[in-house]
A and B are shown apart, each in its own frame.
Chain A
Amino acid sequence: MSEKTLVNEEQHFEEMIAEESICTTDNLVYEKPDTLLDTPMHYCPGCGHGVAHRLIAEVIDELGIQEDTIGVAPVGCSVFAYNYLNIDMTEAAHGRASAVATAIKRVLPDKYVFSYQGDGDLAAIGTAETIHTCNRGENLLIIFINNGIYGMTGGQMAPTTLPGMKSTTSPFGRDVATMGNPLKITELVAQLPGVYYCTRTAVNNAGNVRRAKKAIQKGFEYQKLNKGLSFVEIVSNCPSNWKMTPLASNKWMEENMFAFYPLGDLKVPNDKEK
């Protein structure tokens, strides 16, 4: 065999290796966490709830607390959250998720307890429960999904609906003179002494998804250290009731929601007191 053919064969072999699929377990860098079940989600295409669920599952997997975590699902679009997360979960009456979570945590103080609530649930029907749970400084994590509208019931105005924003009960836009101002409940609870950590995040792009995950992780870690209440707001979209495509809803959210609900930490623990 001449040297030339040998070189050619070697090249060919190298090309063959290069063309081989790289989809091997060794090369796997991302897949859905185990705690997120395979059940197809009922959420509309592009809805932020799916990402939020996945982040919770990722944090639970990474902290290795799947067996020790108890979630409380709300009433609203995420009412079926317990179908998607492979942990113990219960369902609370509308708005009462933080009260139910309080009870669970007091009976089982060694468990990690979180409530997952939308804006209609947490900031309208459940305002009293939310504020008092935060004020008592219960050792919980509250995850608050704010999309400024009642999603499940068909797009009615929520306390968090922006001024001028259209909904089925404010068809000409929210008029603050007659309908009042939107409620910035996250700013409100950040003032309460029982709240240890309070932050506002979003899941509209990869960077924000990473930051939101970090915030949820901190919430669980502070709970382990018995620090008190962690409140993580996730500003989210509702393509169906905003009547936009998922991409347009994310753009609208960046331009309008973020202007009114600026992202960032509202209350961070003082590192020195550790």
Chain B
Amino acid sequence: MAKVKGDIVIDIEKCKGCELCIAACPQDSLELSRKLNSKGYQYMVKIEDNCTGCTNCALVCPEGIIKVYRQTTKKKEPVATISNLTGDITVTVNS
């Protein structure tokens, strides 16, 4: 299975360091910072690059400050495919 790549963005100034997101993360990607934000709370930081974008952290965050991104794995579909081409083909473009 292709690995799903995710990422999160958090508003550290509004984080209260409750650690609920850290416990909710199945990938153990999160940890509390050593620094404090301007309100005096330690804030959540992402320490591993293994986030899958599962949104668990964002769902349990009481402050609603986590944005979750997940890379869309969908490849661009070809407009048309040509197979078993033997003879000549003519393409006309209508404009």
Residues of A near any B CB (own CB < 8 A): 21-24, 26-33, 36, 40-41, 43-51, 53-54, 203-206, 209-210, 239, 245-247, 250
Contacts and interface: CB of A to CB of B under 8 A. Distances in A.
Contacts of B6: 22, 29
B59 A31 contact: no
B19 A245 contact: yes
Interface string B35-70: 000000100000000000111101111111111111
A27 to B, nearest CB: 4
A209 B71 CA distance: 24
A126 B67 CA distance: 38
Contacts of B7: 21-23
Contacts, number: 96
Contacts of A40: 14, 63
Contacts of A205: 24, 56, 60
Contacts of A250: 20, 23
Interface of B: 5-7, 9, 14, 16-20, 23-24, 41, 53-56, 58-72
B62 A49 contact: yes
Contacts of A204: 60
A206 B24 contact: yes
A51 B69 contact: no
B69 to A, nearest CB: 4
Nearest to B54: A206
A186 B95 CA distance: 68
Contact of A41 (B23, B58, B62, B70): B62
Contacts of A28: 67-69
B18 A246 contact: yes
Contacts of B64: 32-33, 36, 50, 53-54
Most buried by A among B54, B61, B62: B62
19 contacts: A21-B7, A23-B7, A23-B69, A27-B70, A27-B71, A27-B72, A28-B67, A29-B70, A32-B67, A40-B14, A41-B62, A46-B62, A48-B62, A50-B62, A206-B54, A206-B60, A239-B18, A246-B20, A247-B23
